[in-house]
């Protein structure tokens, strides 16, 4: 994908299988991927590297700080970062709530034992990264 190598995506999730799968898909497309396995690790990475991150993919249920807390922290910063919220455990209504916390897109994780929907994740990620970073308000997916 042209220009994707200049984009950095932070994945915050406590499921190593999910992170490995998504990381493989994103790096194959030329994105630089950072990983955090807890909300606390995510907060540390965001504090250190905020200006270098273009998109955060955050699980709503994380040890330490929740995905909702991460979104609040991201939206309190002067430089915007696109946010994609996800969950496997919570009901779909929580993904709708995530939009009110600043998620620009939401995706439900795939069921265990099913193929990883790589094209769906890439499509949503590309759309967010291509969108004007100064656009106001979250968009739905």
Q: How far apart are CA 109 and CA 131, in angstroms?
A: 23
pLDDT of the residue at 119: 87
Asked whether residue 55 carries a pLDDT value surpassing 90, the answer given is yes
Residue 4: pLDDT band (50, 70, 90) is low
Domains and CATH numbers, the chain: 4-130 (3.40.50.2300)
Residue written as tokens 């606390």?
40
Number of neighbours of residue 37 by Cβ within 10 angstroms: 18
Region label for 118, one of left (φ > 0), alpha (ψ between -120 and 50) or beta (otherwise): alpha
Task: Name the pTM for this structure.
Answer: 0.87
Q: Which two tokens stand for residue 114?
A: 């099913």
Residue 90: pLDDT band (50, 70, 90) is confident
Q: Report which secondary-structure segment, H or E, holds 4.
A: none
pLDDT tens-digit profile of 10-46? 999 999 988 998 999 999 999 999 999 999 999 999 9
The answer to whether the beta carbons of residues 25 and 3 sit under 8 Å apart is: no
């Amino acid at each position: 994908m042209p220009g994707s190598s200049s984009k950095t995506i932070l994945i915050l999730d406590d499921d190593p299988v999910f992170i490995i799968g998504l990381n493989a898909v994103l790096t194959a497309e030329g994105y630089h991927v950072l990983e955090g396995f807890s909300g606390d690790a995510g907060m540390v990475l965001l504090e250190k590297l905020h200006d270098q991150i273009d998109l955060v993919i955050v699980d709503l249920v994380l040890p330490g700080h929740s995905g909702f807390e991460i979104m609040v922290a991201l939206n309190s910063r002067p430089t915007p970062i696109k946010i994609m919220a996800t969950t496997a455990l919570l009901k779909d209504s929580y993904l709708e709530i995530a939009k009110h916390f600043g998620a620009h897109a939401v995706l439900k994780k795939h069921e265990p034992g099913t193929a990883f929907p790589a094209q769906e994740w890439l499509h949503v990620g590309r759309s967010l990264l291509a969108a004007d970073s100064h656009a106001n308000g979250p968009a739905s997916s």
